[in-house]
Amino acid sequence: MRTLLTLTLAALCSAGALAQQAPPTSQSTGSATTPFLARRGLVRCGTPNIIPGSWNFNPPSDCTANSTNPTAAYEPTEIWEITVVFHILRDSNGSGNVTDARCNSQIDILNEDFQAMAGTPGSPGYDTMVQFKLATVDPSGNATNGINRHTNSTWHNDGGNYYNSLAWDPHHYLNIYCNEASGALGYVPWLPQSGTPGSNSDRVVALYSAVGRNAPIGAPYNQGRTVTHEVGHYLGLHHTFNGGCGGGNCYTSGDRICDTNPESGPHFGCGNSTSCGGSDPVSNYMDYTDDQCMNEFTHEQTRRIRCTLQYYRPNLAQPVGGGGLGTSYCQSNLNSTGLRATLDVAGSPTVSDNDLTFTVNDAALNQFGYLLMSLNQGNINGFGGSMGVLCLGAPMIRFSGNVLNTGNNGTVAFSPDLTNLPQNTVFLPGDTWNFQLWYRDHVLNPTSNTTDGISITFQ
């Protein structure tokens, strides 16, 4: 079994110190001689590059800062939805506003790009099956439109650690702050693999005038792709030109992705270019191309995004369309009955009702087992020599103190006491917990298997 280790970084370089430089003066956008960004004193993206070898998270090893394993386990099979809150930080002189309409259009753009929607500019890409929506409920349970406005000149200028005052629980909300973005079009402070996801500073920052469709900054950065680019970082993607041409294994050098061609440096403007012995990935959202030229995440970028959500942001995205109290995910393997055991749940997600009933079907006959639970999801085939699939990430807790028996029909139902959980655990409103039954199967070798996983968001 894999064990997730939480690594606290003693120090991180500031976004400004590692900000990307302005494009070369040979670029012509809006003027024959003066680059668009340089003319405004801006940089394209202030997200710091990852220095190879500077961080080493163990495990999960599939999507660390320094490597990618694009295994089929991370192929999207269901839509995962991320709840977004915009914080509009205006200057005391009244500048810096972003209208509701522009915020709503930015959500539309994110969905077009991350879901490669047909008939939209994002259609040529690979569908990550990640969906975005504006928050309708705040962390206190109050109704909201997901757009908050604050007037504070220091915050507008990206100072004053505003996120400590304003952040909505970053474990469950994507916080997007719209201000001057420290002289960049946008940035994130770090990739989740190299920072502290879930802390107040975990955020996306966007230049207020570049947010939404037909944004007032004007072409070529007015079609909302700045936020798409920065959310790509937020979900674990490097720049396509990270590390230049790289070298050796493309999963451990460059941008840690093999189906994006290596690129010696960022590409500005539109049009094809070549470096590192091949065509540059100029249409990729993680390059520096003009908004109108960006149109894709690749297949392997998609798997890295899904891996990042599973391990580094396990409570951020929620499955869509589960159709019931719990949402099944992570299908297990056949057992000695020739079937895959399933886990279902009925009752109310409200903890105080304390009426959940779990039901196991199609397990091996007359076998004992335990219900396991975790805040984190996993997908590890044949873990520890088992025939099953481990659908939970560490740390895992054994839910029921009693041994469960599948009986003559391979089924068992049980109703645990939610007010008396093991290891001082509590189910808090808004938390998503994942459950799975491990059980013996003496006919097989190895002699154990699992149900599928089921996810419950408590109220």
CATH number at residue 42: 3.40.390.10
Q: Residue 363 in contact with residue 436, Cβ under 8 Å?
A: no
Whether residues 234 and 362 fall in one domain: no
- Short-list 455, 349, 367, 352, CA closest to 411: 367
- Tens-digit pLDDT profile for residues 318-369: 877 543 467 778 888 889 888 889 898 887 787 888 888 888 988 999 998 9
On whether residue 132 sits in a domain, the answer given is yes
Count structural domains, the chain: 2
**64 and 84, same domain (yes or no):** yes
Residues 375, 313, single domain; the answer is: no
| Domain assignment of residue 193, given as a range | 36-318
CATH label of the domain that carries residue 422: 2.60.40
Q: Which two tokens stand for residue 251?
A: 């999963």
Residues 313 and 330 in one domain: no
DSSP state of 49: P
Residue 22 resides in a domain: no
| Other Cβ atoms within 10 Å of 405 Cβ, number | 15
pLDDT for 14: 31
| Structural domain ending residue among the three candidates 263, 292, 318 | 318
Q: Is residue 394 a part of any domain in this protein? A: yes
Is residue 395 one of the residues assigned to a domain?
A: yes
Residues 106 and 67 in one domain: yes
Same domain, yes or no: 273 and 397: no
- Cα(322)–Cα(400) distance, rounded to whole angstroms? 25
Verify whether residue 180 is a known catalytic residue: no
Strand partners, 86: 147, 176
42 CB contacts (<8 Å, ≥6 apart)? 22, 183, 184, 185, 207
Q: Provide the token pair at 118.
A: 């047909």
Say what the pLDDT of residue 31 is.
33
Do 122 and 256 fall within a single domain?
yes
Per-residue pLDDT, 34:
44
Predicted local distance difference test score (pLDDT) of residue 381:
87
Q: Examine residue 215 and state whether it is found in any structural domain, yes or no.
A: yes
The tokens describing 224, both together, are: 């909302």
Residue 456's CB is within 10 A of a number of other CB atoms, namely 22
Name which of 250, 263, 265, 262 is nearest 304 in CA terms. Answer: 250
Return the exposure string of 19-51: e unless at least 16 CB atoms fall within 10 Å of the residue's CB, then b.
bbebbeeebebeeeeebbbbeeebbbbbbbbbe
- Out of 112, 180, 230, 296, pick the active-site residue: 230
Give the predicted TM-score (pTM) of the model. Answer: 0.66
Q: Which residues of the chain have pLDDT under 50?
A: 1-34, 50-59, 322-324
At which of 318, 346, 366 does a domain end? Answer: 318
Q: Hey, what are 228's tokens?
A: 């798409």
Nearest 5 degrees, angle CA 174-CA 177-CA 180?
155
Same structural domain, 338 and 217: no
| Pairwise CA distance, residues 66 & 272, whole Å | 28
Based on the fold, state whether residues 217 and 345 are members of the same structural domain: no
Examine the domain organization and report whether 277 and 337 are in the same domain: no
Residue 436 lies in a domain: yes
Q: Is residue 266 part of a domain?
A: yes
Question: In the numeric block, which tokens belong to residue 210?
Answer: 């570049």
Question: Is residue 410 within 8 Å of residue 361, measured between CB atoms?
Answer: yes
- Domain identity same for 221 and 97: yes
Give the C-alpha separation, 429 to 93, whole Å.
Answer: 39
Does residue 7 form part of some domain? no
Same domain, 332 and 447: yes
Bridge partners, 405 (sequence order): 368
